[in-house]
Structure 1
Amino acid sequence: MTILSDIPRLLPEGMALGPALDRALAILERAGFSAVIYDYTPVPRSHDGSLITPNILEARRVPEDMLALWKSGFYQLDPVQDAALATAAPFVWSGLGKQSRVMDEVIRERHRPVLGYMHDMRFSFGVTVPIHQPRGDLATFTAIRIDAEPDFAADAAEIVPQIGVLGQIFHDVVSAGFDAETRRTHHVRLTPRERECLSLCADGLTAKEIARRIERSVPTVTLHLNAASRKLGARNRFQAVARAAHYRLIEAAPAA
């Protein structure tokens, strides 16, 4: 079975996220899937290793409470997301039965609430496509079958590579329309001036030199640097620069 026929017509360049997700679900329904989920985050993990709630988290035909639960903390307990960070290949999972190797390797006790939800909602078979970008961005495209027949998993496993292609095409289509705010982490928010001061600090400038560069007083520069450090939970400016770089909030100027 193929689900990839006529993809350019169904998912043309420039299509917005909502309509594209509707089309993706229609394509997946050909293979018997019930629901689809897509998420995107420019920085997948915080500096302490915790999963960051994505900037985009959209779905079709999932239980009514699912997105609210994931946005309020279940995302950090989702073993599927941990598995997506551990592999670049599409993988299968189940809320009811045997897990794939990559899932077995990441599942821990802390994942129990999400696994329990998947079981209660009868998420019997899922395919997740991890989409790793060169700068570290992560998107996942997930097809779910709710309450599948006993033989569904064997048949669906054969088209996992096709779902991988569909997920990548979907991401390429919708991500072309992402604006700068979507591509910036929302986990920590710095003002433009705070980002500017940290960027100059990362380039080796002192507070006095930064003050001359941006035509502000030294106390004002110090205020911006201290505010940025507090938001980043940093003990000093060196740690603030490192964390800001981790969250892609600053970029050092190219070497002369």
Structure 2
Amino acid sequence: MSILSDLSDRLLPGMGFDPALDAALDLVERAGFTSVIYDYTPVPRSHDGVLITPNILEARRVPDDMMRLWRDGFYQLDPVQDAALSSAAPFVWSAFGPQSRIMETVLCERHGPVLGYMRDMRFSCGVTVPIHHPGGDLATFTAICVDAERDFGEAAARLAPAIGLLGQTFHDIVQTGFSPDTRRSRAMRLSPREIQCLSLCAEGLTAKEIARRLDRSVPTVTLHLNSAGRKLGARNRFQAVARAAHYRLLGAAS
């Protein structure tokens, strides 16, 4: 049975995350895959270009230590995630043998630890679906085959469009249940008052004008702006505003 023949019956609007991921696993297993991984991050990279560990990172039928390793730093070394940022279409990858064009473009020595782990775990082949939001959010849905037959890569390439539709359908269903905190970057935390002051600064207000707007003293506003700048590693207020915008913090105070 094909992946798509049962898609509308197995993945239903309003499903919870866990039942939906279980259903997605069942669908990819019918096509010969063994595992699925899904992740979501509202801001994929830090202001200095480092991959940010996703707010959601969940899997089915992967090694027991995999999610812990990825949360502890392997995510930042994952070539599949680098490729997902550069692609709008599903792509095939492998821990062994030839790679798809997009993977060849990003692979470098830095990815060695992750590739070594994938080889050790016999991740023969995978199809990853990048899901880009207009606001910059990134989700990926990945189907993996462990110990695949030699010619499975060719089959995976033919299945990539179907995996793409499955991944997008899964994401569309589960993302409706994301909380505001899930949709907010956790890589940088500012206090509500710091966000408020930076947001007004972004509108062009001086510290004196912000103080008047918030009915606070100028030294208090300056304290909040300087504190936000330190947390963001900014050299000045202009850079602080730019970095706060990068993390989508401006206007985020409740």
TM range (shorter): over 0.9
Deviations 1:92-126 (A, max 9, x none): 00012211110001001100000111111000000
Contact 1:78 1:114 in 2 (8 A): yes
Q: CA RMSD in A?
A: 1.2
Structure 1 residue runs of 5 or longer lacking an equivalent are none
For the pair 1:247 / 2:243, whether they are aligned, the reply is no
| Equivalences, count | 252
CA–CA distance in structure 2, aligned partners of residues 75 and 69 of structure 1: 8
Distance 2:57 2:225 in 1: 32
Q: What percent identity do the matched residue pairs reach? A: 73
| TM-score, normalised by the number of residues in structure 2 | 0.97
2:16 alignment counterpart? 16
In the alignment, structure 2 segments of 5+ residues that lack a partner are none
Structure 1 match to 2:197: 197
Q: Does the alignment pair 1:88 with 2:81?
A: no
In 1: Cα distance, 2:102 partner to 2:156 partner: 18
**Which residue of structure 1 lines up, in the alignment, with residue 48 of structure 2?**
48
Name 2:37's counterpart in structure 1.
37
Q: What does residue 141 of structure 2 align with? A: 141
How far apart, in 2, do the equivalents of 1:97 and 1:86 lie? 21
Q: Post-superposition shift, 1:251?
A: 4.5
Q: CA deviation at 1:244?
A: 0.2
Deviation by residue 1:26-62 (Cα, 9 ceiling, x = unmatched): 1111011110000000011111111111111000111
* Cα offsets for 1:62-98 (capped at 9, x unmatched): 1111111111111010000000011100000001221
Q: Whole-Å Cα distance in 2 between the matches of residues 71 and 189 of structure 1?
A: 18
Report the Cα distance in structure 2 between the residues aligned to 1:5 and 1:223, rounded to whole angstroms.
60
Contact 1:39 1:141 in 2 (8 A): yes
Q: Say whether residues 1:173 and 2:173 are aligned partners.
A: yes
SS of alignment partner, residue 176 of structure 1? helix
Aligned position for 1:7: 7
2:121 and 2:63 map into 1 onto residues whose CA distance is 8
Matched, 1:127 2:141: no
Structure 1 length normalisation: TM-score?
0.96
- Which residue of the partner structure matches residue 108 of structure 1? 108
Distance in 2, Cα, partners of 1:189 & 1:98: 41
Letter in 1 for 2:215: E
SS of the equivalent of 1:158 reads helix
Question: CA–CA distance in 1 between the matches of 2:251 and 2:164?
Answer: 32
Aligned twin of 2:163: 163
2:98 is the counterpart of 1:69: no
What do residues 191-224 of structure 1 show as CA deviations (whole Å, max 9, x unaligned)? 1111111000000111111111111111111111
| Aligned residue in 2 for 1:185 | 185
Per the TM alignment, residue 231 of structure 1 is displaced from its structure 2 partner at its CA by: 0.8
1:228 is paired with a residue whose SS is: helix
Measured against aligned partners, the alpha-carbon deviations of 1:105-152 in whole angstroms (never above 9, x if no partner) come to 100110000011111100000000000001110000000000112232
1:227 to 2:224 alignment: no
Q: Distance in 2 between matches of 1:6 and 1:24?
A: 11
